[in-house]
Structure 1
Amino acid sequence: MSVQGQPLEITVIGCTNLKDKEWLSRQDPYVVLEYAGTRYRTKTDTDGGKNPTFNEKYVLPMIEGLREINVSVWNSNTVSTDDFIGSGKIHLQKVLTSGYDDSVWPLTSRSGKRSGDVRVILHFNSQKEKKASLASPVPSAPPSGYANYPPAYGSCPPHGTYPPAGCPSGYPPAVPYGAPPPYGAYPPQACPPQPYPYPAPGGYPPASAPPAGYPPPPGGYPSASGPQAYPYPAPQGYPPYGPPPSGPYGHY
């Protein structure tokens, strides 16, 4: 597999346990990457001391046959020349094989002594993998014949897709709010017809019959539908009032 011209992402996270080049103050480290004659310099971590952090990402075009990146760490000075802290090599075999590498690489001084570590994250995605991912089919629509295909969990179905056409739902059809139900939507009540007005119960004399044992009033009793005289005349057959009784109690 040729890697010529393909991009390699490298993120410089930071350094640990750097050799201190300052006596009276904290050192100000920065990192330099060199690949195929091109140099990439991070910002200076002012007062970063022995454990500076950077979190800077670069994209390097790959060169076929060149599988190492040179890395060096320096201490920035404003008056004199910058101090060299250490250098090392970052190997690319792992990232070219698996596509990802998060490793710590050792740094050594010019005398060969350990002078700290640098951590970088590498990411590589070959053009072959990109083409394969683009060529893979992505289901964007349900198969033909499934107009009412269920939507994904958590999403709302499009308007008009539920329930499927022609499938009974088991519920009466929806009626707009305030509108009467359609004729025939509800079963009629099986109640027998009732006459109105209701007939009078049997066994009672008619309203115009006189009560038994009393003589009728002058002119007879009025009919049930006629007006009623009030007050009624006094009943007949009682003796008239006579003189007051005599006795020791005197007059009324």
Structure 2
Amino acid sequence: MSMISGIQGQLLEITVVSCNKLKDTEWISRQDPYVCLEYGSTKFRTRTCTDGGKNPTFQEKFVFTLIEGLQEINVVVWNSNTLTYDDFIGSGKIQLQKVLSMGYDDTAWPIQTKTGRHAGEVRLIMFYANANKPATSYAPSYTAPQPHTPMYSAPSYAAPAAAYQTLSPYPAYPPHSAAYPPTPYPPPQTTAYTPVYPPPSAYPPISYPPHSAYPPASYPPPTQDYSYSPGPYPPRPY
């Protein structure tokens, strides 16, 4: 049996959950069981589960102060009587090696009668916060860099903004003056105009016939005489 050291003064939590298939000590009515835990000089007792019979339920938690070298707890189950002494149902030993090494244990522990016969089970949930951890804490803690995170960051040289400003000989005015409302007319188009010419025709140009080689037609002169002959006019009166 391996012994776990360094438990002196540490706290151990034990929850008595229930009992299963207990030996029945009553002949007429149902028995009223309760559970007692003993560790060193520390003793705890659960409440009495009235009419619990063979499968009582408790759900009670107790806290023990551990003792170096003592790694087992005695458990005893009794049947409560009113007029006579309580009836002994069974007892057993709870081993603490698992809970002290792993920090948690949920087991149904068997109990026996005084003659060594099986008397049922007691289910306990034990928790130990200072359990021995694996030797992984001695490894250096190292977090691998993420793929998108560079291992070395280049120094950033931030030059003053004034060194990159160009001095202008003209005063700077705000782009829009708050004293004048914006014009409702759209801004002029700045797109350059490209004249569109009709594509060249696929047909040949029209050819006109040349001047005729024949002489112009001659017409006879007019036969009527249009010459002017002054007629006799009366004398003008004076």
Task: Show the counterpart of 1:6.
Answer: 10
Number of the residue aligned with 1:80: 84
Q: More relative contact order in 1 or in 2 (CA 8 Å, sep 6+)? A: 2
Match of 2:20 in 1: 16
TM-score w.r.t. structure 2 length? 0.55
Which residue identity lines up with residue 190 of structure 1 in the other structure?
Answer: P
1:190 to 180, 186, 189: 186
The question of 1:123 aligning with 2:127 is answered yes
Amino acid at match of 1:44: T
After TM superposition, give the deviation of residue 191 of structure 1 in Å: 7.2
Name the amino acid aligned to 2:63.
V
Mapped contact 2:104–2:126 kept (Cα < 8 A): yes
Structure 2 counterpart of 1:96: 100
**Residues 106 and 189 of structure 1: is their aligned pair in 2 closer, same or farther, counting only changes over 3 Å?**
farther
Structure 2 segments unaligned to the other structure (5+ residues): 134-176, 189-238
Equivalenced residues, count = 141
In 1, Cα distance between the equivalents of 2:81 and 2:128? 35
TM-aligned CA distance change 1:190 to 1:49, over 3 Å = same
User: Counterparts of 1:75 and 1:121 in 2: how far apart (Å)?
Assistant: 22
Relative to structure 1, the CA distance from residue 190 to residue 67 in structure 2 (aligned partners, 3 Å threshold; closer, same or farther) is same
**Residue identity in the other structure for 1:91:** Q
Task: State the TM-score, normalized to the length of structure 1.
Answer: 0.52
**Pairs within 5 Å for 1:168-187:** 183=178
Q: Within 2, Cα distance between the matches of 1:20 and 1:72?
A: 15
Hey, what's the Cα distance between the residues in 2 that align with 1:32 and 1:90? 12
- 1:19–1:189 distance in 2 versus 1, CA, 3 Å: farther
Q: Which has the larger radius of gyration?
A: 2
Q: Which runs of 5+ in 1 are unaligned?
A: 130-181, 193-252
Q: 1:126 Cα shift?
A: 1.3
Identity of counterpart residues, as a percentage?
58
Cα 1:128/1:51, change in 2 over 3 Å: closer
Does the Cα contact within 8 Å between 1:6 and 1:127 map onto a contact in 2? no
* Shift >2 Å, 4+ stretches: 182-189
Cα deviations across residues 85-139 of structure 1 (Å, max 9, x unaligned)? 000011000000000000010010000000000000000011887xxxxxxxxxx
2:141 aligned residue: none
Asked whether 1:30 is paired with 2:26, we answer no
